[in-house]
Amino acid sequence: MLTKSVDLVKDAHEEMEQAMEECDPYSGLLNDYEEDNSNNHSVEEGDILGSPNNQDLYWSEEDQELIIPCLALVRASKACLKKIRISVAENGKKDQVAQLDDIVDISDEISPSVDDLALSMYPPVCHLTVRISSAKLVSVLKKALEITK
């Protein structure tokens, strides 16, 4: 159970890092959109309902300033889950079922919180949503550490 959560958080972290390195949060997705609509040469891209416009595709300078702290928070989540997994493997006993269940339950909340944060980082970025997602993840991590103590 804990290994699955670690793997999910690891995947989210890798995706965020890749998008940041490429400065392209939708790497490859826009090319698919352009290929699908290559027959509509006479229609401007902005005129097509549902087509992304330029500001929806890239991070602004303000958005880019949020990426590093958010990546650090995701990295901390990954490290926290790994340490919890190791601690449970080394110290978990069969007579502590209720405590182990609590640890697994709170650990299961970390991955969805990381996903929420990662999703909030895709353009167009709503800074309030990023703050809320970050605060939620921090809260879940603190609770996980308290329970694991």
How large is the average pLDDT for residues 106-128? 89
Determine the structural domain holding residue 97 and report its residue range: 1-22+58-148
Would you say residue 44 lies in a domain? no
Among 10-14, 28-32, 128-132, top mean pLDDT goes to: 128-132
Give CA separation, 101 vs 38, 86, 96, in Å: 53, 15, 9
Give CA separation, 5 vs 64, 86, 87, 130, 141, in Å: 27, 13, 15, 21, 13
Which contacts (CB < 8 Å, 24+ apart) does range 70-74 have?
A: 70/16, 70/117, 70/118, 70/121, 70/130, 70/134, 71/13, 71/16, 71/17, 71/20, 73/117, 73/134, 73/137, 73/138, 74/9, 74/12, 74/13, 74/16, 74/114, 74/117, 74/118
**pLDDT for residue 68:** 86
Would you say residue 82 lies in a domain? yes
Least reliable range by pLDDT among 56-70, 71-85, 132-146? 56-70
DSSP code of 95?
Answer: G
Q: Report the CATH number that the domain containing residue 89 is assigned in CATH.
A: 1.20.1410.10
Would you say residue 36 lies in a domain? no
Domain count, the chain: 1
Q: Cα-flanking dihedrals φ and ψ of residue 49, to 5°? A: -60, 130
pLDDT, tens digit, 9 for 90 and up, residues 33-68: 445 555 554 444 444 444 445 556 677 888 888 888
**pLDDT for residue 147:** 86
Would you say residue 120 lies in a domain? yes
Higher-pLDDT residue of 117 and 13 is 117
Would you say residue 14 lies in a domain? yes
pTM as predicted = 0.69
Is 80 exceeded by the pLDDT of residue 5?
Answer: no
What is the percent of the chain where pLDDT is above 90? Answer: 19
Would you say residue 46 lies in a domain? no
Higher-pLDDT residue of 46 and 26 is 26
Would you say residue 38 lies in a domain? no
Local confidence band at 26 (pLDDT 50, 70, 90 cut-offs): low
